[in-house]
Structure 1
Amino acid sequence: MEALLDTIRRMRAAGGERLAVDAPTAGPFAAFDPAQLRVEVAPGASAQLVVVHTAAGVSSLEVALGEGASLDLAEVFLAEAFAELHVRQSARSACRMTAVELASANASWRISLEGREASSDVGALFLAGAGEHGVMRLRTDHRVADCRSESLVKGVAAADGVGEFHGLVYVAPDAQRTDARQQSRNVVLGDAARIVAEPQLEIYADDVKCSHGATVGRMDDEAILYMRQRGLSEAQARRLQLEGFAGDVVARCGIEPLGEALAEAVAARLAHI
């Protein structure tokens, strides 16, 4: 994980309990183990922020996006942190978040779309090995009309590892023309591993496009056989399939200095899960 940490350390530190961004483009910023942090992105501004948890603790992060603002946010768990995040979005703002749990952790996120044409994209991944328990909770509130949200949460559990995803998309009575999609895809490796996936919809408007789904299964034996017929060992085929499964989330990361290092860290973790 040192290469990943070195990449993040080279970013500009988001010191203190408040980060205010008013420039057209700013970042990437990095926050290590923040107990409390408020991020404010001014109207029309854009920013990139990486939050990394390297020690056990409790973290609270609040994000406010002004009208037309945008934020690329990445949250990386390397230790057993309990983290809460609340993102509040004004009209035409955009937030793209990538989150990866490489250790036992408990993450709770709330996205509030409070202005028309706001959009939220979330990609999240948890990896739970022996004795580990990864939890992700995501609530997306569509408070007004004409907003869009998409979330893809993936999980891998091995040995006696446990993973949980609890998701909710809430659509308020006046939030017409909402477009919301929520998906959870999970793989268990072995009979003792367990993953619970609970995506939900709570809709009070009638002119909407909303969908949700969840799967929990094992690796694709036919795909593994196909790769073995082309010269790969079973171990190599399984590793490549897992890396491809997890890479779909990591590839969503919009923070260029982080993406490659995060992909390498995920691959290394999968090799020892």
Structure 2
Amino acid sequence: MNPIRIPSPAKLNLFLHITGRRQDGYHELQTIFALIDLYDYLSFEYTVQDHIEVKGLQQVEQQHNLIYRAAQLLLPYRKTTQGCSITLEKHIPMGAGLGGGSSNAATTLLVLNKLWQCGLDQSQLLDLAIQLGADVPIFIYGQNAWAEGIGEIITPITDLPEKRYLILKPDCFISTQSLFSQKLLTRNSKPTKFAAYQQNPSDFGNNFEAIARTLYPEVEQAFQYLNQYGKVRLTGTGACVFVEIDCDADTDVMLTHAPYPGYVANSLTSSPVLDIVQSL
């Protein structure tokens, strides 16, 4: 089999509220996941040897590699003895709040479910996805969505307006665990509805923004730069920040003068992974 090369999209959180904390310590969230056309690429190839090989992410130990862990979860269901070699071309920055690792894990589940003839339906894949992380299920759905719970209660959104975004990646690594441990973090935002967001999206923010801007000067610098172009938002727990831009905006000038590396991305209505997997 020739390698099959699959795009693995990023996401933005258009807002992110913490609405409470569960007895098991996990936080209840509300957010909108918006898929964008910034991609990693994964190439899948059968191997004669019965093993899983992941190339392109040497800096991550195997037991922490979400691609490897996703493949491992499918082993009990496969109907073939062939292994798989997976090569990652990394374009989505790591530790950025863009969901690159989660997307890679979901892409692996979707593709190997087909290649290994596992026969799992979407519900079964979602059960595996949540074991890998709260952001993985959205990429199994492959649609923009309103999400609640710890991110696993998903309601697809079919009418998000098409947008273009300028995204900056500040030169810092933000520890999600550290942000969650901050005493000043707002954990009791009032639960809301998608209809309220549609009426006044500018009223919806990210509970992690103030703390990230205070603790990480690089994030504050990125906010200050993008402020000239519109309302700036933090995605996930960061470190990436983004702003909506016009289709005719001079992004070359914007990126040239930006204090950190940046990306221009367009919104997606659905993940291209779904159609590709259907054709396998």
TM-score category, normalised to shorter length: under 0.3
Greater share of residues in strand? 1
Greater share of residues in helix? 2
- Higher RCO (CA-CA < 8 Å; seq separation 6+): 2
TM-score by length of 2: 0.24
